[in-house]
Amino acid sequence: MIILGIETSCDETSAALLDDETIIADEIYTQDIHSRYGGVVPEIASRAHLQKVGPLCRSVLDKGNMSVDKIDHLAVTDSPGLAGALLVGISYAQGIHIRHKIPVTGINHLEGHIQSIFLEHPSLSYPFLSLIISGGHTAIYRVDDFGSYYCLGETIDDAAGEAFDKVGTMLGFSYPAGRSIEQEANRAGEKKAVRFPVARLSTPGFDFSFSGLKTAVRNYLKGKDHEFIENHKDVICKGFQDAVIKSLVNQLSAASEQTGISRIVVAGGVACNGTLRKAIISRFGSTVFFPSPRFCTDNAAMIARAGLMRAKRNMVRYPRMAPSGGIGKVIQEISGNSKE
């Protein structure tokens, strides 16, 4: 089955062509323009998607030496994300659907991140715990099967990636700052890190909080002159990164102990972080799986992969824009099994 996946939920425009489990071609365009504004500007994102979505779809078809008529199914991110950005991808997919009579399914972006692991580990078995750590989301899901996602905990304020980006802005890094903070922290080597607090929540379950940590960094920087900050940037970044990693590993460990599930899948942009990868591997060993960095950050291959599963299991649903649609909604939609 040939699937064309389209992803435009935030600041990556992406298209991917899959032939069942094989990636024929994939393209990701990262909208660097947002770095000059310190964050994603929704209207600029929508306009950039408008310019790029067509050429990227064309490009994956050309690379696969394939015409539109050979596509068996379309898959497009329809929730959650920026409204205008989602609308561009959905409208484009609907255009192809109507013009070429190719069936189309909407995909929840978080389901895409969860399914991204199967791009490179197609025979991974269920159940597993999925830690999604990105710029917009931080949550742990118990995944019992394709389409069965139970949220065990999520952030009550900032997402992990958002904390990296906001602390990065305080330290003068451009957006998105996750990678720069990791590189700066690596420069500290064995130097003692600045100690920042790790949130302990009183809520039941496995929630996260990163806004206190962000405030702690801001308070630490208050009154420090430019020269001091420049000279201590490495140990500040190391301390901040350590606190984020501790919080993630603590909650993941607790969730694993409570559920008895030791197979762990980590996805989302923050999963690119090498120090985090080492920390999770040293806690869980060979039962932890990460996608390659290309498939951790937003990409259409993961959307196409989720679309493939929906098409094969007759779980197709017509795209419906839902900017704040959580994954809980996906569970309801599956039971509804809605088709156009």
Provide the binding-site residues for ligand KG4, judged by CB under 6 A. Answer: 10, 134-136, 161, 164-165, 176-179, 182, 268-270, 272-273, 297-298
CA distance 86 to 323: 8
Determine the Cα–Cα distance for residues 100 and 72; give it in Å rounded to an integer.
Answer: 10
Nearest approach in angstroms of CB 106 to Zn ion is: 16
Q: Which residues 6+ apart lie within 8 Å of 301 measured at CB?
A: 5, 14, 16, 18, 23, 26, 116, 119, 295
User: Residue 247: how many CB atoms within 10 A of its CB?
Assistant: 23
With respect to ligand KG4, which residue has the nearer C-beta, 106 or 268?
268
DSSP string for 91-125: HHHHHHHHHH---EEEEEHHHHHHHGGGGT-TT--
Residue with tokens 């952030």: 155
Site string for Zn ion, 98-137 (x = CB under 5 A): ------------------------------------x---
Longest dimension (CA), the chain: 63
Q: In the bound complex, what is the minimum distance in angstroms from residue 225's beta carbon to Zn ion?
A: 37
Residue indicated by tokens 């942009």: 269
Q: Where are the beta strands (DSSP E) in the chain?
A: 2-7, 12-19, 22-30, 73-79, 104-108, 128-133, 138-145, 148-154, 264-267, 288-289
In the complex, the smallest distance separating the C-beta of residue 102 from Zn ion, rounded to whole angstroms, is 25
Give 113 or 238: the residue with its C-beta nearer to Zn ion: 113
At its nearest, how many Å lie between Zn ion and the CB of residue 182? 18
Give which of ligand KG4, Zn ion, none residue 234 binds (C-beta under 5 to 8 Å, depending on kind). Answer: none
Q: In angstroms, rounded to a whole number, what is the distance separating the alpha carbons of residues 263 and 258?
A: 13
Among Zn ion, ligand KG4, none, what binds residue 164 when CB lies within 5 to 8 Å by partner kind?
ligand KG4
The residue from 298, 317, 327, 334 that contacts Zn ion (CB under 5 A) is: 298
Q: Tell me the closest approach of the beta carbon of residue 207 to Zn ion, in angstroms.
A: 20
* Contact partner at residue 194 from Zn ion, ligand KG4, none, CB < 5 to 8 Å by partner kind: none
Q: How far is the CB of 290 from ligand KG4 (least distance, A)?
A: 12
Which tokens sit at 189?
A: 């080597």
Look at residue 179 and give the partner it binds from ligand KG4, Zn ion, none, a contact being a CB closer than 5 to 8 Å depending on partner kind.
ligand KG4
Binding pattern for the stretch 134-153 against Zn ion, x by CB under 5 A and - elsewhere: x-------------------
Give strand pairing partners of 106: 76
- 177 makes contact, choosing from ligand KG4, Zn ion, none, with CB < 5 to 8 Å by partner type, with ligand KG4
By CB under 5 A, tell whether 162 contacts Zn ion.
Answer: no
CA-to-CA distance for 143 and 148, rounded, in angstroms? Answer: 6
Contact 308, 64 (CB under 8 A): no
Cβ at position 101, least distance to Zn ion in Å? 30
Nearer to ligand KG4, 143 or 270 (CB): 270
Nearer to Zn ion, 111 or 298 (CB): 298
Residues forming contacts to Zn ion in the complex (CB under 5 A) are: 134, 298
